[in-house]
Amino acid sequence: MSHNWGINLMSSNMKKIVFVIVAVICFGSYSCSWLDNSKPQDLKNSLERSVDKINTAVGKISASDGYQLITGTDVTEKSGISYTDSITMDLIKGIYSYQPDTTHQCNHNNSYKLFKKTGESDSLIINMPNKLAFHPYYMDEYNRQFTMLKNDFTINASEYHCYYNWHGSFDYGLKAGLVLDSVDLGTMMVAQFVNGWNDQQYISSFAFAEGYAINTLYQVGDSIIKEFSLTKDTDTLLSESVLFIKNGTHHPERQYTLSIGNIDIKRTTGIDSVQVYLNGVLQKNAAAVIVDSTDTSDPTICHQSRDILLTFDDGTTAKLSELLNPVLEQLGEIVDSLRSMRFAKRVIDYVAFNIYYSRQWFYYDMNH
């Protein structure tokens, strides 16, 4: 059963959500907590302190269950999945538990109705075995043994909608908290809007329980913008922004900014050198060189296709790839998983549409 609700259904509330997430991503590159009077505020020791904070942050994130959940190699999209209906929270809200009913088909991503409604709620609350959340391919084929597993993983989606039309445009919104055996793993937020090749916006973030968050933005309009940030509470530990201009099929880079704590490294067309700022002050005796790999389709440090060589006032140098190792690889994994909506599509959407199609099948049975 399909509803051709067009992309025009994007509400003012959705726009507000997009604005809030953009504000989080575009938060200032440093705050007063970065000022440490124990050492003089020079570029070199500022970089050392900032790098230590980034390495500590990613070390804690990569050791968390939230990291394993969203970057797991099992969380891959099943081939052939295609959602072409539009659903709102009102169509699927309630409390559901994993209780497969093999006597009823849901006629979509799985042959069976996998979840039973066990309570009322204005949100979408899903209780399921963590085995299926961390290894979602187990949901593709019914296994009687899984019904013996404890429903110890909970998805609490306070916001969910997916508006789709047959022209390929869509408007998608999600905010969901994830809990494993009563332990908070974090909150995922996604806002996506597509209304043609030159009108797209993809925003996603994951706030880990430890107070750290990863935020990503990809926007296509008159230009192309890519942004990413790693934050701790109200501090931005690391952020990167790339602006491309459109020139036919060629999209030259116009502006690049990398912020490491209270250090900003900027390159702009029309300026010969890469500029380095400390606490917003241009460092005249410091230098930076941006080095790209042969593959510059995604010239960002988190994808390791870009590196930066810094030269300090005393003539010594430091390479970011060496200072942030293996942090950059781990950050790249998180950013890729968030931009592709891997967990949202493979788990949350999968379950939401199973519930939705089971509901449609129930009403079909009632009327025939």
Q: Write the pLDDT tens digit of every residue in 299-310.
A: 888 888 899 999
- Between 163 and 249, name the one with better pLDDT: 163
Q: How confident is the model at residue 139 (pLDDT cuts 50, 70, 90)?
A: confident
Residue type for position 199: D
* Phi-psi map region of 280: left, alpha, beta (phi>0 left; psi -120 to 50 alpha): left
What span, in angstroms and rounded, lies between the C-alpha atoms of 19 and 90? 24
- Between 339 and 157, name the one with better pLDDT: 157
Residue 276, in any domain of the structure:
no
Count: domains in the chain: 1
Identify the weakest region by mean pLDDT among 37-46, 132-141, 182-191.
37-46
Residue 283, in any domain of the structure:
no
**Cross-strand pairs, 113:** 101
What span, in angstroms and rounded, lies between the C-alpha atoms of 199 and 169? 10
Residue 301, in any domain of the structure:
no
Average of pLDDT values for 132-157?
Answer: 88
Residue 92, in any domain of the structure:
yes
Contact 116, 144 (CB under 8 A): no
What span, in angstroms and rounded, lies between the C-alpha atoms of 287 and 279? 16
Question: For residue 6, is pLDDT > 50?
Answer: no
Average of pLDDT values for 310-316?
Answer: 91
Question: For residue 16, is pLDDT > 70?
Answer: no
Residue 1, in any domain of the structure:
no
Residue 148, in any domain of the structure:
yes
- Between 81 and 240, name the one with better pLDDT: 240
- 20-77: pLDDT as tens digits: 444 444 444 334 444 444 444 689 999 999 999 999 999 999 999 999 999 886 655 5
Contact 232, 59 (CB under 8 A): no
Omega of the bond leading into 136 within 30 degrees of 0 (cis): no
Residue 321, in any domain of the structure:
no
Residue 296 carries which DSSP code? -
Residue-averaged pLDDT of the chain: 83
Give the per-residue pLDDT at 281: 95
Q: CA 333, 335, 340, 341: dihedral to nearest 10 degrees?
A: 100
CA dihedral sign, ordered 116, 119, 123, 129: negative
What span, in angstroms and rounded, lies between the C-alpha atoms of 245 and 270? 14
Q: Taking the model in full, what pTM does it have?
A: 0.83
Domain residue limits at 170:
7-31+39-249+327-366
Question: For residue 290, is pLDDT > 70?
Answer: yes
